[in-house]
């Protein structure tokens, strides 16, 4: 089912889960573990699961195997991420061919960031809007894009960022998936400004439960998102007790989720970090 149909259905919010293909997985154990987590989360009826993609194609091989497994084993709609920053036109064409073979209907089109291990980086596409324009001419894929309630790190301000978001929508994007955020007010403010800019497509809110202080700090490096004081105080207070940090993170995300639902948010996109338990607890807490 295509994005526009998924988001047209009555049962909002549309729930989606994001995973990443494991690296260094010669014996396939990490992939098997990931599939188990996906199987657990399937009971919450996600409209789709998304699968990240390293710029330059570093995870391309793993992702196509996983896409196939998820589709055939669990019959879940898969939306692969499609980065372009280090891709040549030929790379993009090859991926489009692959997705045709895998019967993919939806992708999340991104510029991506140059990974440190990449030494040769093509520049056929500078921004995500250029990739969308190309893909729309070459295929009938439905396209989602990224949005940034806290602003994108390279943008001078939110106004410029939303102008650039509009370029992606004008090229045919159908849904916006936001970067993770911790302060719902920032999301509501972003949504209001996006609507004022004339963008009417659904916006799915990105939620990431904090389950480890160290891992969260790593994820927040190089993006504009900050942990709010109330949550930071708890993670510092429980610094020598990982289970208590996780409990506080799940409670915080549960409140975020409840409030987003109350405000009729069209979609909730969970950054699962390849683990099902925190997300399961949030969804169980709100049944
Ligand atoms: P763009 O929309 O191209 O924007 C990049 C910057 O350039 C912004 O500051 C924007 O304001 C500016 N800009 C955009 N268009 C123009 C223009 N035409 N002229 C001038 N300035 C412009 N990264 C990965 O590598 N793999 C992933 O799988 C992945 N998944 C993600 C999923 C989500 C939901 C989100 C929110 C992010 C994800 N990212 C991923 C991170 C993303 O690739 C980075 O944030 C990247 O820096 C920007 O990608 P973008 O598609 O938003 O870029």
What the chain holds in terms of domains, given with CATH numbers, is 3-209+265-274 (3.20.20.220)
Q: What is the pLDDT of residue 26?
A: 86
Q: How far is the CA of 83 from the centre of ligand 1 (A)?
A: 9
Which tokens hold the place of 125?
């596409």
For the beta carbon of residue 85, count every other beta carbon within 10 angstroms. 22
Q: How far is the CA of 128 from the centre of ligand 1 (A)?
A: 6
Average pLDDT, 10 consecutive residues per value, the chain (287 residues):
91 92 89 96 96 76 84 94 94 95 97 84 92 98 98 97 98 98 98 98 98 92 93 86 93 97 97 98 94
Q: Is 271 in the pocket of ligand 1 (CB under 6 A)?
A: no
Q: Is 179 in the pocket of ligand 1 (CB under 6 A)?
A: yes
Q: What is the pLDDT of residue 211?
A: 93
Q: What is the pLDDT of residue 57?
A: 64
Ligand 1 atom nearest residue 153's Cα: 9
For the beta carbon of residue 281, count every other beta carbon within 10 angstroms. 17
Residue 243 class from Cβ within 10 Å (0-12 exposed, 13-18 middle, 19+ buried)? exposed
Q: What is the pLDDT of residue 61?
A: 58
Do residues 250 and 281 make contact, with C-beta atoms less than 8 angstroms apart? yes
């Amino acid at each position: 089912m295509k994005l526009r149909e998924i988001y047209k259905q009555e049962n909002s919010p549309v729930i989606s889960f994001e995973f990443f293909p494991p690296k260094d997985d010669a014996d396939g154990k990490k992939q098997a573990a990931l599939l188990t987590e996906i199987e657990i989360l399937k009971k919450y009826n996600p409209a789709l699961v998304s699968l990240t993609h390293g710029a330059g194609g570093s995870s391309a091989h793993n992702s196509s195997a996983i896409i196939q497994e998820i589709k055939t084993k669990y019959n879940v709609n898969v939306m692969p991420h499609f980065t372009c920053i280090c891709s040549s036109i030929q790379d993009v064409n090859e991926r489009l061919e692959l997705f045709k073979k895998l019967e993919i209907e939806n992708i999340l089109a991104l510029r991506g960031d140059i990974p440190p291990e990449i030494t040769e980086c093509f520049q056929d596409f500078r921004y995500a809007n250029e990739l969308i324009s190309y893909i729309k001419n070459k295929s009938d894929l439905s396209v989602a894009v990224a949005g940034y309630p806290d602003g994108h790190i390279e943008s001078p301000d939110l106004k410029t960022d939303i102008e650039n978001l509009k370029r992606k929508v004008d090229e045919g994007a159908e849904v916006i998936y936001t970067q993770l955020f911790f302060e719902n007010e920032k999301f509501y403010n972003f949504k209001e400004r996006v609507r004022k800019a004339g963008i009417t497509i659904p916006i799915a809110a990105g939620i990431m439960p904090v389950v480890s202080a160290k891992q969260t700090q790593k994820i927040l490096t190089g993006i504009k998102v900050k942990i709010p004081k109330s949550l930071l105080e708890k993670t510092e207070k429980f610094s020598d007790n990982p289970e208590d940090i996780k409990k506080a993170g799940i409670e915080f995300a549960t409140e975020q989720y409840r409030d987003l639902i109350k405000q009729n948010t069209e979609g909730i996109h969970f950054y699962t970090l390849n683990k099902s338990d925190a997300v399961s607890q949030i969804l169980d807490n709100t049944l």
